[in-house]
């Protein structure tokens, strides 16, 4: 008995260490503790201590979250599926109905993982299963404390449906999520949910922009921006500054599409200033891709406004940063952005009268697009490949190279 008590004490200690590391976002350390903890639970269950199965399911779920945060999505998927299977057995076979919220949560987290892996059909199935269970718990069992989780699941299902191309269904889920978050914040005074409300508004704006309703998208972006600004400035939620910077940039894109170039320039410059501070002053190097993209967008906007020298500076800075990220950090996923930036710089140089410089950029962009399309089957980039060829052709004609 004393031996068993000692093992339980050791388990409790492991669990506490894992949770402490998890809460401090030390996911590598947390994953190591959760892994040892799960192995110990496995041994106890084999010995007949079956009441530890719910603890094992929870440990595997947390381990899956850790792997997701560390970028190991395949390992995350394995742990989450194991957790889900165990929770499902306990709920369905052994009538452990008190575990249904954990089952719903695991399905949601697995759905997000599958979405990030690109398996949208499987992701949609898990998110819909999670949503159905949360709705039952909230509406039938009066588990009103789970409404934030219901809202979050709707939001994630909306993102999945948007990626799937089912924009109207995505809009419906995002609007339902937004409505629930608003009710929770405004009626129930759940002020801690305001960042989720702001994030959902931004995501709904993206969906509306994809649908082509730019004015409605602008409204959501501006409401999101206002709330993020309030949270950062008044409530000192400094951790939300990357979201604030991203919303400034996305609102800039919307305004650019609406033809309001001066307003777009203002948003891009606000975004750029904030990203610059986060990257240079606070060493948030993980934000450099967004920083590079904002410089590219600002450069395009300045080109349209006729500030070609300013545009050239931003596009060259963006190009340099993308090259560094690809060559030094092996961020090969950013090559399409590098190709796009080269093409946009080529346009700017052509308008400045530097036709040879423009030719070099177009050719480099064309070579990269050609590789991505032909060798890596990035068929979604064929329109950009065609556009680059056209622009190179125009440039060669201006240079007198008619052949």
How far is Cα 98 from Cα 110, in angstroms, rounded to an integer?
A: 20
- Residue 164 shares a structural domain with residue 214: yes
- Residue 70 shares a structural domain with residue 186: no
Is residue 49, in this structure, part of any structural domain at all?
yes
- Residue 179 shares a structural domain with residue 87: no
Is residue 151, in this structure, part of any structural domain at all?
no
Is residue 143, in this structure, part of any structural domain at all?
no
Place of tokens 């892996």: 117
Taking CA 371 as the corner, what is the angle to CA 369 and CA 377, rounded to the nearest 5 degrees? 95
pLDDT of residue 3: 55
pLDDT of residue 8: 76
Question: Tell me, what CATH number does 181's domain have?
Answer: 1.25.40.10
Is residue 146, in this structure, part of any structural domain at all?
no
Beta carbons within 8 Å of 308's beta carbon, 6+ residues apart: 302, 348, 351, 352
Given pLDDT bands bounded at 50, 70 and 90, which one contains residue 7?
confident
pLDDT in tens, 259-272: 999 999 999 999 99
Is residue 92, in this structure, part of any structural domain at all?
yes
- Residue 3 shares a structural domain with residue 109: yes
How much is the mean pLDDT over the chain? 95
In the chain, the number of structural domains is: 3
- Residue 131 shares a structural domain with residue 194: no
- Residue 247 shares a structural domain with residue 342: no
pLDDT of residue 1: 45
Q: Which two tokens stand for residue 327?
A: 């060559």
Is residue 291, in this structure, part of any structural domain at all?
no
pLDDT in tens, 328-380: 999 999 999 999 999 999 999 999 999 999 999 999 999 999 999 999 999 99
**Residue 187: domain span:** 160-232+241-279
- Residue 350 shares a structural domain with residue 275: no
Is residue 106, in this structure, part of any structural domain at all?
yes
- Residue 5 shares a structural domain with residue 109: yes
pTM above 0.85, yes or no: yes
Contact 137, 107 (CB under 8 A): no
Q: Which of 282, 256, 278, 279 is nearest to 267 (CA)?
A: 256
Is residue 152, in this structure, part of any structural domain at all?
no
Report CA-CA distances (Å) from 224 to 85, 194, 325.
Answer: 38, 10, 30
pLDDT of residue 11: 85
Give me the half-sphere count of Cα atoms (radius 13 Å) on the Cβ side of residue 290. Answer: 24
pLDDT in tens, 156-198: 999 999 999 999 999 999 999 999 999 999 999 999 999 999 9
Q: Which two tokens stand for residue 21?
A: 């590391």
- Residue 66 shares a structural domain with residue 120: yes
pLDDT of residue 2: 52
- Residue 186 shares a structural domain with residue 130: no
pLDDT beyond 60 at 12 = yes
Question: In three state form, how does the secondary structure of 48-87 look?
Answer: CCHHHHHHHHHHHHHHHHHHHHCCCHHHHHHHHHHHHHHH
pLDDT of residue 257: 97
């Amino acid at each position: 008995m004393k031996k068993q008590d000692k093992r339980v004490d050791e388990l409790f200690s492991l669990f506490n260490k894992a949770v402490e590391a998890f809460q401090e976002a030390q996911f590598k350390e947390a994953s190591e503790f959760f892994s040892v903890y799960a192995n110990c639970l496995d041994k106890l269950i084999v010995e007949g201590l079956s009441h530890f199965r719910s603890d094992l399911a929870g440990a595997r779920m947390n381990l899956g979250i850790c792997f997701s945060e560390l970028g190991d999505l395949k390992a995350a998927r394995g742990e989450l599926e194991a957790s889900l299977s165990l929770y499902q057995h306990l709920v369905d076979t052994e009538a452990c109905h008190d575990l249904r919220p954990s089952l719903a949560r695991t399905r949601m987290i697995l759905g997000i993982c599958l979405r990030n892996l690109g398996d949208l059909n499987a992701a949609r199935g898990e998110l819909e299963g999670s949503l159905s269970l949360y709705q039952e718990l909230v509406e039938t069992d009066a588990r009103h404390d789970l409404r934030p989780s219901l809202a979050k699941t709707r939001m994630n299902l909306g993102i999945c449906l948007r990626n799937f191309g089912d924009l109207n269904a995505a809009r419906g889920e995002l609007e339902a999520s937004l409505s629930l978050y608003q009710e929770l914040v405004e009626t129930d005074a759940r002020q801690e949910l305001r960042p989720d409300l702001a994030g959902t508004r931004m995501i709904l704006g993206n969906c509306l922009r994809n649908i082509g309703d730019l004015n409605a998208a602008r409204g959501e972006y501006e409401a999101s921006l206002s709330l993020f600004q309030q949270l950062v400035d008044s409530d000192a939620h400094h951790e939300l500054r990357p979201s604030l910077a991203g919303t400034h940039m996305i609102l800039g894109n919307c305004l650019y599409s609406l033809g309001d170039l001066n307003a777009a320039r203002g948003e891009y410059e606000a975004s750029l200033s904030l990203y610059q501070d986060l990257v240079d002053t606070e060493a948030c190097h993980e934000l450099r891709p967004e920083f590079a993209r904002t410089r590219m967008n600002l450069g395009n906007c300045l080109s349209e406004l006729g500030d070609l020298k300013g545009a050239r500076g931003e596009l060259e800075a963006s190009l340099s940063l993308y090259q560094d990220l690809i060559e030094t950090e092996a961020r090969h996923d950013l090559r399409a952005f590098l190709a796009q930036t080269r093409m946009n710089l080529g346009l700017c140089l052509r308008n400045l009268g530097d036709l040879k410089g423009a030719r070099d950029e177009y050719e480099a962009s064309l070579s990269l697009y050609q590789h991505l399309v032909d060798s890596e089957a990035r068929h979604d980039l064929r329109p950009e490949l065609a556009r680059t060829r056209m622009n190179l052709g125009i440039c060669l004609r201006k240079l007198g190279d008619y052949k």
